[in-house]
A = this chain, B = another copy of it.
C-alpha cells in the first residue's frame, strides 16, 4: 500500500499521555489513537498488527480442534445472576439498561453465555468434547486504565471455553490449549513464560498465566533456579521458615518511638533489623476486623488473605476504625491487647523471638514481644509475597523474581459454571452428568503491545516479522522520474512475490522517510535513490541490525522473500 493513501499520522514528539514504551511507540507510529481513557481506535497500521495476531491465534485454535463462534457483547443480567457474578463482579462490569429497563452487562468474559448455549443444545456425551472460541471486543471498567492497549477498558480478546465429559477429558483440553498458547506466543515472536496463577474473578481449581518478560510488566513473577516452579507472585507459595529462633525470651518492654510509624523508621529508631519486627495490618471486612501479621521485611499478599477469608474484596481499615480499636493513629497497631479483632499471621511469624510490635498507643512500640506469652494468633497461613531468595516450594533451589506482562490465561474451571447453570448431558449409561469446563483467554492488543516492549530501540519499533504491519517498507528517496519508475516496478514485483509492502511515495525529504520507517518498524527497508540506481542497485536494510545490502532491483524480491521465510510463512 502507498503511504500517500493511508492514514499513518506519525508523531515526532513523545506524547505526554504515554508512560510505557509500547504505548508511546504505538501513538508515535500512528497505530492507535485514544478516544477516551482506556478506549482506543486502531488506525490502519495498528489494525494490521491486530489482525496478524488474530490470524495466528485462529490458526492455532483451529489446529487444536477448537471451533470459532461469536457471542454477543450485550449479556443479559439473568445469566449472570444464575452464577452470582452479577453482584460478585463489582464495578468492573459495565452495566446497561435497555429502553424497557432490562439489565445487561457488556461482557468482560463469556462463561455464562456459552454455558447457556451449551445447556440448550448439548444433551448427549456424543456431542462432547467441545471447545468453542471467539475473538471479540470485551469491556472492563478498570479503576485505572493505562499503558495504552495494555490495560484498556475496551479491548480485543480471544476467549475459548471447553466442555468435557469428565475431569480427565478436561485436563486433556486444558493441555491442548496450554500447548496452543505456547505455539501462539512463540509465533508472535515473544519471550514468555507460563506460570501458576491465581484464578481471581473467573474461579476454578487452577490456572496458568502466560507472561511476556518485560521490565515494564505490571506483574511480578517468581521462578526457581532449576525450572521446576514459576508463578505469579499473587499466587506463588512462600514456604514456612525452616527453623525456630533459639533465643531466650526477654521481658516485654513498652518504649516510646516518637513519629516512627513505618518499618524503616521504627528499625532506625530502635537500631534493630526488619527481620526482628512484626508488622500488623488491620483490614475491615463486612463482618469483622482482621489483623494480619507479617515479618517486617515481608509484604502481605492480599490475594492470599482474601482467599483465606473467603472474600473477593479487601480494604485496609480506615483511620477511624484503627483509632477505635487501638486507641492510636495508623502506624502503631500491634497484637498485644488488641480486642474485637481476629488475628492471623504469616508462617514466618511463628518461629520469631523477642520481636518489635506496635504499642496500640501513639508513638509507642513494644520491644521483646513474644508469641503466646504476650499475644496469640488464631490462625497461621501463607499470607506473604514470595520473593527472590526464598527457597523454591518445589525444591528447585532458590526463587528468582522478574516482571511480566500477562498475555494469556488458562483456567481449569471444573463444574463451577455447569453446576450453577445446570449444563448437563446424558452419559452412555443414560445418567445425567455435569460438563467439566475450562476457559482460555488471550489479550490480542496486549500481545501486540508486549511485542513492542520486547522489540524496540531508541528509533522505534522493530516488529517480529510474523506480526509486522508490513514486511517491507519501500522508500523512494527522491522525486526523480527514475526513482519513481524504479520504485513502482519494485513495489509491483515485491507484491507479486507475495510480500506485504508499504511504499513511502510521499513528497518528503529522505530524512523524514528514514525516521518514519524506523519508527514504524517493518523488519526490512528497501531504499531507492538516484545514486544507487545509477550504479544499478537498491539497498535492503534490516531494521533490527541496520545491516545494508546492495542488490540489483531484479534480485531483491527473491532475496527478501528468502530472508523473511526464515521467520514466517510467506504465501
Contacts and interface: CB of A to CB of B under 8 A. Distances in A.
Interface of A: 1, 4-7, 9, 30, 33, 35-36, 39-44, 46-47, 50, 65, 67-76, 91, 94-96, 98-99, 102, 104, 106, 113, 116-117, 120-122, 126-127, 130, 132, 137, 139, 141, 143, 153-154
A127 to B, nearest CB: 8
Contacts of A42: 69-71
A96 B96 CA distance: 6
A35 B113 contact: yes
B69 A7 contact: yes
Given A47-B69, A95-B96, A99-B141, A153 B40 contact: no
A67 B5 CA distance: 8
A17 to B, nearest CB: 13
A354 B96 CA distance: 57
Given A113-B35, A120-B33, A153-B98, A6 B67 contact: yes
B121 A71 contact: no
A501 to B, nearest CB: 15
> Which 10 residue pairs of A and B lie closest in terms of their CB atoms, listed nearest first?
A9-B121, A42-B70, A36-B76, A41-B71, A39-B72, A44-B67, A91-B99, A99-B141, A96-B96, A72-B154
A440 to B, nearest CB: 17
Contacts of A130: 7
A47 B70 contact: yes
Contacts of A95: 96
Nearest to A104: B36
Contact of A94 (B41, B50, B96): B96
Copy tally for this chain in the complex stands at 2
A68 B39 contact: no
A95 B95 CA distance: 10
A121 B7 contact: yes
A209 to B, nearest CB: 25
Contacts of A40: 72
A137 B135 CA distance: 12
Given A44-B69, A120-B33, A121-B7, A106 B96 contact: yes
User: Which of A42, A72, A75 is packed against the most chain B CB atoms within 10 Å?
Assistant: A72
A446 B233 CA distance: 49
A72 B35 contact: yes
Contacts of A9: 120-122
A35 B41 CA distance: 28
A153 B43 CA distance: 26
Nearest to A136: B137
17 contacts: A1-B67, A7-B127, A9-B121, A33-B117, A33-B120, A35-B113, A35-B117, A36-B76, A39-B72, A39-B76, A41-B71, A41-B72, A42-B71, A43-B69, A94-B96, A95-B96, A98-B141
A224 to B, nearest CB: 39
A153 B96 CA distance: 13
B153 A74 contact: yes
A135 to B, nearest CB: 10
Nearest to A51: B68
Nearest to A92: B99
A525 to B, nearest CB: 22
Nearest to A155: B72
A95 B116 CA distance: 26
B94 A154 contact: no
A73 B33 CA distance: 14
User: Which of A50, A69, A153 is packed against the most chain B CB atoms within 10 Å?
Assistant: A69
Contacts of A6: 67
Given A91-B99, A98-B153, 13 more contacts: A6-B67, A7-B69, A33-B117, A35-B75, A42-B70, A43-B117, A44-B67, A46-B69, A72-B154, A73-B139, A74-B139, A99-B143, A106-B106
A69 B40 CA distance: 11
Contacts of A94: 96, 98
Contacts of A116: 35
A526 to B, nearest CB: 22
Nearest to A4: B126
Given A117-B41, A137-B137, A154 B7 contact: no
Contacts of A74: 35-36, 39, 139, 153-154
A518 to B, nearest CB: 20
A125 to B, nearest CB: 12
A532 to B, nearest CB: 27
B73 A154 contact: yes
A421 to B, nearest CB: 14
B41 A73 contact: no
